A and B are shown apart, each in its own frame.
Chain A
Amino acid sequence: MKLQIKNISTAIKDIHIKRLLVIMVLWMIFMGIFRFDKFYTLINFQTMAAQFPEFGLMALGIMLCMISGGIDLSVVGVANFVAIASGQLLKIIAGGAGELNGFEILLVMLFGMAIGLAAGFFNGILVSKVKIPPILATLGSYELFRGIAIILTGGKAVSGLPIKYAETIAGKLFGLIPVQLLFFAAVVLILSYLLNRTTYGIKLYMLGTNATAAMFSGHRTERVLIQTYALSGICAALGGLIMLANYNSARADYGAVYTLQCVLIVVLGGVNPMGGKGRISGTVLAICVLQMLSSGINRFPEISSFYIPLFWGGVLLLVMVLNYYRENKQSQGGHKKAVISKYRIWVRKSG
């Protein structure tokens, strides 16, 4: 009996990852058969690797918040805010000549990340201290950050940036590896280290599982929440800095579809929207699958790329319905589980 439970529990942990792997392999085979010459090229893979980090980073931030039992819907707002502010700073630093050196780029990036940190910190305060439900708090702060971004630009785009910035951030290391990918990889490594090897990781999972018990275990839950939203803010800021380089401009309403897309990624990657469960590997895999699907579909000019959200939303709903059947089979007689989930809902309600 106990062994059985163990097997099931490891299977649950991996089932999302398995599913994503199957989708990815099937898709790669499909592309291999129908568009081999167009899909399996170095340039295509380089393009994909340059595209996904911008929303991938935002998805990582949302993932952290979702593990804590919340959500961060403000990531796109933070990203655009950071992109605009950094873009304006770049123009000031570069002056009329448009000259820029490596140190100055680094400085601008640190500036952008500091804004992201502050924005995330602000979200964290709203969620942990003021105790606004995370959905609403970040929804509100999304409007706020977007509003500030619009004020900064007067609603127009920031363009005419020194070309050096885009060349550096959207460039390729050894002419091969996109720099954006390096940023993404670094953040993934740092976060997976944080989640798996540090006390912060354990505290985060515990908080997402049962906030009351975490408090009774002596964790400073408010601090963990603030740290989490701050991290999400930094991730979003990096996403914004990459967007700035990819488009060589910034605007308050860039990437509007990313919010939804990132939530979908995170759920598909196996993160439980109720908190406490989820792996970074699942999220990264889901990011890659999404990018491959959309790039792949683009190789079929007869199919509109507008099918991607249809497909993506459909997959999400299907996966959740499948989960429903799987969990129902498992938890027959699982009264305890129902009681606990009921309680957790209550805990959430009472904030």
Chain B
Amino acid sequence: MAQSVLKVVDIKKSFAGVQALKGVSLEIKAGEIHCLAGENGSGKSTLIKIISGVYTPDEGQIIFGDKVYSKITPIEAIRNGIQVIYQDFSIFPNLSVMENLAFNEELANKRKLVNRKRMKKIAQEALAKINFDVDLNAKVGSLSVASKQLIAICRALMLNARLIIMDEPTTALTRKEVNALFNIILDLKKQGIATLFVSHKLDEVFEISERFTILRNGEKAAEGFTSELDNKKFTYYMTGREFEDKPFVPTNVSEDPVLSVENLSMNGFYENVNFSLHRGEILGITGLLGSGRTELALSLFGIMQADTGTIKIDGEPVKLDSPETAINHGIGYVPEDRLTEGLFLPQSIGDNIIVSELDKLSSRLGIIDRDKKKEEIRQWVDKLSIATPNPDNACSTLSGGNQQRVVLAKWLSRDLKVLVLNGPTMGVDIGSKHDIHQILRRLAEQGLGIIIISDDIPEILTNCSKILIMRNGRISAALTPDEADTQVLARYMM
């Protein structure tokens, strides 16, 4: 049995009366690849912050080898070999690769003056650890996401790390880059460095980790070897509920397509895209990051403009040059990042719902009909069962799933023809995800044309009636769900 690098015992932590962790224990052994999973609010980020010394636990112990702490500072965590790679990589985009790599060590050694020669040496050594080749004088902001991540990893390795915690490391990587990352993690394992991998993506958990811990509501829901885990168990541990996923069968498909895209190309992003969508269908578009899927979606909503090709709505060619025109043609868009692109969190739930149909609720002069507005809000809160005591409350008071419903309500109130959803359930917990899928199916049955863009393959397989796969800006395959499974999709994606 390998020696443990980190052990936390019975950690409790509460914020303003809300108990975020209710006695969680976790052990990570040297060289182990351990996956920490859990839904939003399950306490996994709190736990990581306690391990890295950012938060102080209310109760419990943190044990490094034979040293027992009841609380630690970030510096102590680093001295004990703990390194966290945050989702934003904690880099300085405005500074050079060399400085990004060398700062930590220079600061840890309490150096006051800059010695570029020494910093260069430190940086070169750091890059050598994973054989990463990059211009030391390049500004980090000009590098690709994957390179930024590698720089963060190099930096983490410098301070004799024994455990590297990676918070959702694959979110912005292409599949190729993910593979490269996994190879590095395996390489680290050979050097005896453990990795704690935080993720909610099932396939990744299965692919890379040896052991797992799943948190739910601040408690440990399960732990064990990944080889003993399957899809269904995983979902159950994460949510405490079981879901049955029946494939979606469209019932109310229109004869003529509501949206057709012909030979659409945008230089550098996608080319020669053709497809059509009928009312009542749910079309899935999948592909790796950088395959052009997001740009295609943005073009359908008028934020980016295609260079050539036609988009037809109900057979009529339309020119989509702004979100406003897209909306006027009956196209809605649920953005990828709900918090930053979809919602106005400090504003009221009600205003968030009606924000895209202001013209419908006002006179020509732009004067709002208050009764109509109130009625509209009430109606949508009811229809999508948004759990709130009062729609005047700020949107930030809602849970993730309810917030996603607000985004949906915003578009449904527009009486759309086509709804494009980019990653509709990203960051949404599994229960709400299920509910959202049900809502989408119901909408399709009522005659809405729906496009789901997602890299969550099970989501695409169970909810779509047609699947398009994009690779390097082209559609590499168009399948129906019964022709496709995870392997087939993956093959067309790479």
Using CB atoms and an 8 Å cutoff, list the residues of chain A in contact with chain B. 1-3, 5-6, 9, 197-200, 202-203, 205-206, 209-210, 212-220, 276-277, 332-333, 335-337, 339-340, 343, 347
Closest to A331 in B: B16
B242 within 8 A of A: no
Closest to A212 in B: B341
B362 within 8 A of A: yes
Contact in complex: B397, A6 (CB < 8 Å): yes
Q: Name the contact of A9 in the complex, choosing from B16, B20, B340, B394 (C-beta under 8 A).
A: B394
Closest to A272 in B: B346
Residues in B whose Cβ lies below 8 Å from that of A220: 322, 324
Q: How far is the CB of B368 from chain A (nearest CB, A)?
A: 6
What is the number of contacts between chain A and chain B, taking CB atoms within 8 Å? Answer: 106
Contact in complex: A3, B358 (CB < 8 Å): no
A selection of 23 A-B contacts at a CB cut-off of 8 Å is A6-B389, A198-B362, A198-B368, A199-B358, A199-B362, A199-B366, A200-B366, A202-B368, A206-B351, A209-B344, A212-B341, A213-B341, A216-B323, A217-B355, A217-B410, A218-B323, A218-B326, A218-B356, A276-B347, A333-B16, A333-B20, A340-B345, A340-B396
Residues in A whose Cβ lies below 8 Å from that of B344: 205-206, 209-210, 213-214, 276
B367 within 8 A of A: yes
Separation of A3 and B389 alpha carbons in the complex (Å): 8
Residues in A whose Cβ lies below 8 Å from that of B276: none
Q: How far is the CB of A63 from chain B (nearest CB, A)?
A: 18
Q: How far is the CB of A216 from chain B (nearest CB, A)?
A: 5
Residues in B whose Cβ lies below 8 Å from that of A205: 344, 347, 351
Q: Name the contact of A332 in the complex, choosing from B15, B327, B389 (C-beta under 8 A).
A: B15
Residues in B whose Cβ lies below 8 Å from that of A210: 340, 343-345
Residues in B whose Cβ lies below 8 Å from that of A347: 340
Given A199-B366, A210-B344, 10 further pairs, Cβ under 8 A: A6-B389, A6-B393, A198-B362, A200-B366, A213-B341, A214-B344, A218-B356, A219-B323, A337-B396, A347-B340
Residues in A whose Cβ lies below 8 Å from that of B18: 1, 333
Residues in A whose Cβ lies below 8 Å from that of B249: none
Contact in complex: A333, B362 (CB < 8 Å): no
Contact in complex: B340, A215 (CB < 8 Å): no
B342 within 8 A of A: yes
Q: How far is the CB of A186 from chain B (nearest CB, A)?
A: 18
Of all A-B residue pairs in the complex, the 3 with the closest CB atoms, nearest first, are: A333-B15, A199-B358, A218-B327
Closest to B387 in A: A2
Residues in B whose Cβ lies below 8 Å from that of A214: 344, 355
B150 within 8 A of A: no
Residues in B whose Cβ lies below 8 Å from that of A203: 358
Closest to A201 in B: B368
Closest to B325 in A: A218
Q: Mark B284-306, 1 if CB is under 8 A from A, else 0.
A: 00000000000000000101000
Known: A199-B359, A200-B366, A202-B368. Contact between A215 and B342, CB under 8 A? Answer: no
Q: Name the contact of B341 in the complex, choosing from A197, A216, A218 (C-beta under 8 A).
A: A216
Contact in complex: A198, B366 (CB < 8 Å): yes
Separation of A220 and B303 alpha carbons in the complex (Å): 12
B339 within 8 A of A: yes
B45 within 8 A of A: yes
Q: How far is the CB of A122 from chain B (nearest CB, A)?
A: 23
Contact in complex: A212, B389 (CB < 8 Å): no
Contact in complex: B333, A216 (CB < 8 Å): yes
B390 within 8 A of A: yes
B31 within 8 A of A: no
Q: Name the contact of B340 in the complex, choosing from A6, A199, A202, A213 (C-beta under 8 A).
A: A213
Q: How far is the CB of A277 from chain B (nearest CB, A)?
A: 7
Q: Name the contact of A335 in the complex, choosing from B45, B301, B366 (C-beta under 8 A).
A: B45
Contact in complex: B390, A277 (CB < 8 Å): no
Residues in A whose Cβ lies below 8 Å from that of B57: none
